[in-house]
Amino acid sequence: MPRPGLLIEELPIWAHLNGVKFTGVKVANTEGRGYGVISENTLTTDEDTVTLGTPTFIAVPHNLVLNAAAVDEYAKEDKNFKQLLEAAEHRSSRADILLFLLVQTALASRVNHPSHSSIGVSNPWTEYLQLLPGTLFVPTLWHEDERLLLRGTSLEAAVSAKVSALVAEFDAIQQISSDIPCWNEVLWESGSVSLRDWILLDALYRSRCLELPRSGESMVPCIDMVNHSASPTAYYDENSKDEVVLLPRPGAGLLAGDEITISYGDTKSGAEMLFSYGFIDPTSAAESLTLVLEPFPDDPLARAKLVAFGGAPKLHVARDGSSVVWKSPFAYLMCINEEDGLDFRVLQDTEGGQQLRVFWQDDDVTDRADGFEALIQSHPLSALFQLRVVTIIQERLEVQLGRAQSHQVAKQDPGLGDVRDECLKAAELLRQVEMGVLESGIESLEEERSSLLADKNVVAYLGLMEPAASDLVEEEASNEVEDFS
């Protein structure tokens, strides 16, 4: 069902009724960035103190802060919601908050359909949600044609996986709440919420969540209207009255009519910014990307390696000044085998259960399965193992670069489909940033490979082996990347 929606002009009334104080600032439409917070005064500050103007732009009382604790408080007032929250098993703060917001969405739609049941207690968020934008450019909300624009970028797999996860979450919520008659009626029989609402709420949560010093991960009305800049003029904090406040940064200068901004973080990559906020600021985004690393398809230990490693096998590459750094703990486990001294054993534990244990050179290293970079250091053939790792990393970057290049698109391309300009521009900016990192990474790995191939232990190893005795040596010597498994 379409969200009811309130005009941003109604925000001052909502703020007044709910005790939010605005001083010398207002929320208004900005050019290309949705709503933003605008200064109504000229303000000069020096590096240490605010010398003129108001010290607090916005003050939000603690009772409006939405986090897991606030959802629990709300559940104390509404026994039906408590039942729903418990049925959903409090899987995470995010899950609790999204469930609360889903219910508020349904309650808001009831305003337009007063015949619906009186289940659910409205609260300030029921109305505030209606003031939030209904269009966001985070890729989980892109149409299918627009998501194709991400082919060859690091977001291609991440966005597909996130959309699948959101569909599964929504199905689970639907199943749980359908078993509770009152919620079945409010949420589903009335048709008041849909999968689109769930995806939108997830996007609103991700793009508006703040990390507060005391209250932790929270959504804060009104302060979530502040846009990002690489040269921010404000920051948020919690004061001694437990309010969340927006304050000018020392050294910030503002003219009346200037937009007030904060920093959403300067270590987030372009992909992370696009994924979480629906835009990339090339002046502040970190030049880095994270890729998924697949184990060798013909590795008989692949499954055991994945289980023992525990986390998702990833590769992180980043430009650091003039050099490129990479990190991939799984790549080290991926590149060593039984003949090198790796072993997996299934052992009986004291409770009669079975445990997969990892051994390296006969030492039990199960707890260090993500630390093979350090574990191989003392091995005489560590340079050879490093060469294998560098080779597969370089190959992964080459494959990614090839895909990124082959999927480049331009506005005038026939067959582009029905895509919005914002999505096309964001996807192509991401592609350009990532291609730059990949090209530099491949170059720097080539240098690493050359120096490893010149390592005396590698040379001795390759020289000692009879060509017929080992396929591996032949392949290593001929630098055939794909055969290093």
Binding site for ligand SAM (CB under 6 A): 33-36, 133, 136, 207-208, 224-225, 227-229, 277-279, 281
Interior/surface letters 269-298, b for 16+ CB within 10 angstroms, e for the rest: bbbbbbbbbbbbbeebbbbbbbbebebbee
Q: How far is the CB of 137 from ligand SAM (least distance, A)?
A: 6
Least CB distance from residue 29 to ligand SAM, whole Å? 8
Residue number with CB closer to ligand SAM (226 or 392): 226
Cβ neighbours around 403 below 10 Å, total: 15
Q: Which is nearer to ligand SAM, 281 or 448 (CB)?
A: 281
Helix (H) and strand (E) counts in the chain: 17, 18
223 CB neighbour count, 10 Å cutoff: 25
Tell the smallest beta-carbon distance from residue 76 to ligand SAM (Å): 29
**Can you tell me the distance from the alpha carbon of 133 to that of 279, in angstroms, rounded to the nearest whole number?**
15
| Residue with smallest beta-carbon separation from ligand SAM | 34
Tell me the C-alpha distance between 316 and 373, whole Å.
15
Which ranges of 123-228 would DSSP assign to H, the alpha helix? 124-131, 144-147, 155-178, 181-183, 195-208
Give the strand pairing for 227-228 and 259-262: parallel
- Closest approach, Cβ 240 to ligand SAM, in A, equals 25
Contacts of the segment 272-275: beta carbons below 8 A, 24+ positions apart:
274/138, 274/139, 274/155, 274/426, 274/430, 275/138, 275/139, 275/155, 275/158, 275/159, 275/162, 275/206
Q: Which is nearer to ligand SAM, 227 or 386 (CB)?
A: 227
Give the DSSP letter of residue 201.
H
Q: Select 136 or 404, whichever has its Cβ closest to ligand SAM.
A: 136
> Nearer to ligand SAM by C-beta: 177 or 207?
207
Q: How far is the CB of 23 from ligand SAM (least distance, A)?
A: 19
Contact 129, 105 (CB under 8 A): yes
Q: Which is nearer to ligand SAM, 124 or 278 (CB)?
A: 278
Minimum gap (Å) between residue 261 Cβ and ligand SAM: 7
Q: In this complex, which beta carbon is closest to ligand SAM, that of residue 228 or of residue 249?
A: 228
Residue 412, classified by CB atoms within 10 Å of its CB into exposed (0-12), middle (13-18) or buried (19+), is exposed
Shortest CB 483 distance to ligand SAM, Å:
45
CB of 129 to ligand SAM, least distance (A): 12
Q: Which is nearer to ligand SAM, 170 or 279 (CB)?
A: 279
